[in-house]
Every structure is written in C-alpha cells, then in structure tokens.
Amino acid sequence: MPRKRKLPPRRKRMKRAARLASARHWLPTYEGKNIVRGYARWFGVGLECALNEVQLLGVAVDPDYVQRLRETMRQRVRSKPHKEPTAKEPTAPDVPDGYGSEWDDEFAYLAGFTSSGAPYGITWEEEGRLATAEFMEACDGDDDGDDDGDDDGDDPIPF
C-alpha cells in the first residue's frame, strides 16, 4: 500500500474565514515584534494578505509601516524581470527513419491509413508468420526454384 503524503499544517491550509477565527485565539499568544510578518509566517500567507487580515481583526498597525510595506511590494513586482513568451521548437526524440510512415511499434509495414486515421498494414506478428512460411516453402520441394519438379542443377544458387 503506498504511503500517504503528509499534508502541511491545518493552519496553512485554511481559508480566510477560518484563519480569522483561528487568529482571534492566536493573537494573544504572539510574542514577536512584527505582528504582520508573524501572522504571514504562521498562517502561510503573503504580507499584503496578512496586513489586510490583521487590520480586519482590529489590530492597530502603524500607517508608516503600511506605506513602506506596500511600496516594497510594488518594487518587488517592478524588479522581477518580465519574461517574454518564447516559442520553443518541439524537439523530436531520436526516431529511426520511416517510423510512423513505413512502420511503427505495431506494424512491420504500414500500407496506409483509413479515412478516420486508423493505420492498417502487416503487423509484426503476421510478418513473423509470413517470413517463417516463406522460409519453409523455400526449403520444401526441389532446390532449383523453377517449380518444374525436376532437379536439373542448372540454378546458379545451390539452395
């Protein structure tokens, strides 16, 4: 039985309403200096979200700190390099010549495709049986290959 993957703590999976209800009990126990950063770390949210939720809970936050925090967030957004979408060329894996048009994993010989796109041809299994049958047929009978029934030995190939 596969092991279950451990989930992060419940407090980091909460939605806003549950966080606000839980934060009412958490706030009196917080002993740090920066309530916004502590809230963000404890509940696993961003600083702006933490700032909004702490203010919703009625905690007085220094307006100068709010201004600096919002400016910092704007600068972070501006400083991130804008990535231009690049059109990546699809890299084809190393495929032998003729794969998919003349043969593939199922067919030894692809005769074509139906109007709905299904391939048809000789499968590897059929090809194996045909090769065995042709070999057995070639070994039976006379060796000259002229199918006249006589073994006159006039063939240049001895088999």
Q: What is the pLDDT of residues 31-50, one digit of tens each?
A: 999 999 999 999 999 999 99
pLDDT recorded at residue 154 = 64
Mean per-residue pLDDT of the chain? 81
Q: Which band of pLDDT confidence, cut at 50, 70 and 90, is reported for residue 2? A: confident
Choose between 123 and 31: higher pLDDT.
Answer: 31
**Rounded CA separation 88/41 (Å):** 38
Map out the domains of the chain as residue ranges. 10-79, 98-159
Q: Are strands 119-123 and 107-113 parallel, antiparallel or unpaired?
A: antiparallel
Which stretches does DSSP call E strand in the chain? Answer: 107-113, 119-123
Percent of the chain exceeding pLDDT 70 equals 75
Arithmetic mean of pLDDT, 135-147: 61
Q: Enumerate residues 6+ apart whose C-beta is below 8 A from 73.
A: 47, 48
Q: Using alpha carbons, list the distances in angstroms from residue 111 to 17, 21, 103, 104.
A: 64, 69, 9, 12
Q: Rounded to 10 degrees, what is the CA torsion of 21, 22, 23, 24?
A: 60
Task: Inform me whether the pLDDT recorded for 157 exceeds 80.
Answer: no
Q: Which one has a higher pLDDT value, 70 or 97? A: 70
